[in-house]
Amino acid sequence: MGVWVVVGGQYGSEGKGKVAATIAIEERIDVCIRCGGPNSGHSVGLPSGGDLVLRQLPTGVLRPGSRLLIAAGAVVDLDVLRRELDMLGLGQDRVGVDRNCVVIEGRDRDTERAAGLRERLSSTLCGVGAAVARRVLRGPDVVLAGAAAERERWLRPFITGVAGEASAAASAGRSVLVEGTQGFGLSLYHTASYPHATSRDTTAAAFLSEAGIGPTLVTNVVLVLRTFPIRVAGAQAGPLEQEITWDQLRAESGAPGPLEETTTVTKMTRRVGRFEWPVVEAAACSNAPTEIAINGLDYLDYRNRGARRWEDLTPAARDFVARVERRLGAPVTRLGTGPELGCGLTRAGGAHAGRGLVALPA
C-alpha cells in the first residue's frame, strides 16, 4: 500500500507510462493520478499489438477498477480528454477531474505559435505553457475545470477534489500512484540547459504538489531511466551529449531492422544519444528515489529483447544495471527489454534474479 510516485530521470520518454501501468497492475493500485498536460503522451505497447497512447488519463487504466484522476495542477484540453474517455468507454465511476485544473483554450495555442515556441524550443504548441502563464497571472480570463463544467454538461459528473480523494484513500490503507510527466532534464527549475525546458517543474515533489498529497505519505519514488536518452528533433530543443544516429544504434545493438522513435504528439523523429551520468545523478539527488526502473536493455544488445529472467540478460546488461545501482545509490527493481507491457522483469529489492513481469488482465 502507500503512495507511489513515478518520475522521469532524463529528457522524457523514458517509459514512465509502461512503468506506471506495470506498477498499477502488479501492486493493485487503487487510485492512479496523472499530472502535467496533453503536450506529453504516455504510451504502452500492448502484447496484442499496437500502442495505447494517453495524453490526459493515467496509464493505470490498464488495471480494471483503478480510480483514474487528473491532478489540480494539471492542464486539461477538454477535446483530448473527451476523446480518451470515449475511446476507452470510461465514465465518472472510474474517472475524476480536479475542479481546479486549468483548461486550455484555442488562444493558448495561438499564443505559443505567435511566440515562435516551436522554432525556438521545439514546443508541441499544445497551449500548455500559455495556459499555465495565464493561470499564474490570475486574470479574469482563466477558466478552471469546475467552471468549465457549467457550460460543458458532459464534464459535470467527472468534477472532484483530487487531494481529498487521494488523502482519504491513503488514510484508509489503499494504494495511490502519481504518474509524473516528461523528465528531470526538462525541469523548468532544475535543468542545466534553460531555457531549453518545459513549462513546469518535473520532480517527484512537484508532482505531489500538483496532486495535493503530503510528502510524508510517500512510500515509493520510482526514477525511470532509459539506456539511450532521447530528445525531440532540432538543436533548438536543447543539447544531447554524445548524440548518435539511429543507424549507429541499430548497428551497435545488433537489431535486425531499422530503429527509430518519434514524438507522441508531433510525430517528429527524436534524437538519440548515449547515457549521460551527470543528468541522472542530478535526477537521483533531487528525487531521492527508493528504486529505479531502466528501459531499453534491448538497445544495449538486441539479445536482451524480450528477456524475462535476470540470467537471460547479457553480462554487459547486468554490469550496466550494477553500475547504475552503485552510482545512484538505489536498487534497480524494474528492467524493460522491449516496449510492450509484460516485456521485462522485476527484481525484488534489486538484489537477486527477477521474476517475469505480470501478464495483462483479461
DSSP 22-83: HHHHHTT-SEEEE-S-TTS-EEEE-TTSSEEEESSS-GGGGSTT-EEEE-TT-EE-HHHHHH
**How confident is the model at residue 269, as a pLDDT?**
87
Is residue 362's pLDDT more than 60?
A: no
The predicted model gives 201-205 an average pLDDT of: 97
Q: pLDDT tens digits for 63-92?
A: 999 999 999 999 999 999 999 999 999 999
pLDDT on residue 129: 83
The secondary structure of residue 13, as a DSSP letter, is -
Query: Strand 95-98 to strand 67-70: parallel, antiparallel, or no bridges (unpaired)?
Result: parallel
Average pLDDT of span 242-253: 96
- Give CA–CA dist 173/226, Å, rounded: 32
Is the predicted pLDDT of residue 360 greater than 80, yes or no? no
pLDDT exceeds cutoff 60 at 28: yes
Which pLDDT belongs to residue 155? 98
pTM above the 0.95 mark?
no
- The span from the CA of 64 to the CA of 48, in Å, is 17
Pick one of 3.40.50.300, 3.40.440.10, 3.40.30.10, 2.40.37.10 as the CATH number of 2-96+161-356: 3.40.440.10
- Average pLDDT for 150-170: 96
pLDDT surpassing 70 at residue 25: yes
Q: Is the pLDDT of residue 353 over 60?
A: no
| pLDDT of amino acid 357 | 41
Which of 32-36, 96-100, 268-272 is predicted with the least confidence, judged by mean pLDDT? 268-272
Phi-psi category of 98—alpha, beta or left, where left has phi over 0 and alpha has psi -120 to 50?
A: beta
pLDDT at 206 over 90: yes
Q: For the chain, what are the domain ranges? A: 2-96+161-356
Beta strands in the chain (DSSP E): 2-8, 31-34, 42-45, 51-54, 67-70, 75-76, 95-98, 102-103, 159-160, 175-179, 218-226, 230-231, 243-244, 271-273, 291-295, 332-336, 344-346, 355-356
Q: How confident is the model at residue 235 (pLDDT cuts 50, 70, 90)?
A: confident
Q: Are 19 and 59 in contact (CB under 8 A)?
A: no
The yes-or-no verdict on residue 119 having pLDDT over 80 is no
Q: How confident is the model at residue 339 (pLDDT cuts 50, 70, 90)?
A: confident
Cell numbers for 321: 544495471
7 pLDDT higher than 90 = yes
